[in-house]
Amino acid sequence: MSADIILLKKELRKRLINERSHIDEKARKLKDLSILDRLLTLAEYRESELILTYASYNGEVDTCKLIDKALSDGKRVACPRCRIRDDVPLLDFYRITAPEDLIPGYKGIPEPRERQGSKLTCEDICGSLVIVPLVGYDRAKNRLGYGKGFYDRFLASCKDIKKIGLAYLCQEEDKLPVDEYDIRLDMIINEMELKL
């Protein structure tokens, strides 16, 4: 990745996280509900038996109600744990049965407790719906993450999954800088529309 792209992404991240953090709390709750409502109408949600989702953190679109709803709908739900192996950032997904299964983990991000038999393999994940966090996105469904590459590595390693990003409209850019390792999403949902 070129130094110019790295610097541009870093500046975009800082600006977009700042904009996201300044959303009024009352407005944020309404936006979160609108995003969740759009997600729940999708065939991809209704037909998926397994939902992989981040646990919201630091102003991200809230996923607490999604986790509760998916569990009450009888779906299996898994959340990621971050780890670094030989300087390589990796995500492992673990089944949860309640929001209480989440505890502060990597950088304070809510992560599942490690329990015997709850870690999923790529075979387990095949055909599932993956809800992806993001800092920014563009109309071509490119995603700007936090810069470590956790999700890009995971999404590149597990095929035959539906990748949906949740975001606020203020996180949209006309065109994001991308490189060969960036994985494009299948869909992005904000409070105003679905981007297919």
Q: Is residue 196 part of a domain?
A: no
Q: Is residue 195 part of a domain?
A: no
Q: Is residue 38 part of a domain?
A: yes
And the tokens for 34? Answer: 């609108």
Alpha-carbon distances, residue 195 vs 38, 96, 121, 174 (angstroms): 11, 29, 29, 13
Q: Is residue 66 part of a domain?
A: yes
What is the DSSP-derived secondary structure letter of residue 145? -
Q: Residue 165 belongs to a domain with what CATH number?
A: 3.40.50.10420
Question: Which pLDDT score is estimated for 25?
Answer: 95
pTM of the model: 0.93
Q: Is residue 148 part of a domain?
A: yes
Question: Which pLDDT score is estimated for 5?
Answer: 86
Q: Is residue 178 part of a domain?
A: yes
Q: Residues 166-184, buried b or exposed e (16+ Cβ, 10 A)?
A: bbbeebbeeebbbeeebbe
116 vs 42 pLDDT, higher one: 42
Across the strands, what pairs with 132? 165
Give me the mean pLDDT over the 174-190 stretch.
94
Rounded Cα–Cα distance for residues 56 and 62 (Å): 5
Angle at 126 between CA 191 and CA 142, to 5 degrees: 40
And the tokens for 59? Answer: 């102003």
Q: 36 near 190, Cβ under 8 Å?
A: no
Site of tokens 């986790």: 67
Question: Which pLDDT score is estimated for 158?
Answer: 86
Window from 28-42, 66-80, 145-159 with minimum mean pLDDT? 145-159
Question: Which pLDDT score is estimated for 115?
Answer: 77
Domain that holds residue 44: 3-190
How many domains, the chain? 1
And the tokens for 144? Answer: 């700007």
Tens-digit pLDDT profile for residues 183-194? 999 999 999 988
| Gyration radius (Cα) of the chain, Å | 16
Give me the mean pLDDT over the 9-36 stretch.
97
Kindly tell me the number of DSSP H helices and DSSP E strands found in the chain. Answer: 6, 12
Q: Is residue 105 part of a domain?
A: yes
Question: Which pLDDT score is estimated for 189?
Answer: 97
Is 1's pLDDT higher than 70?
no
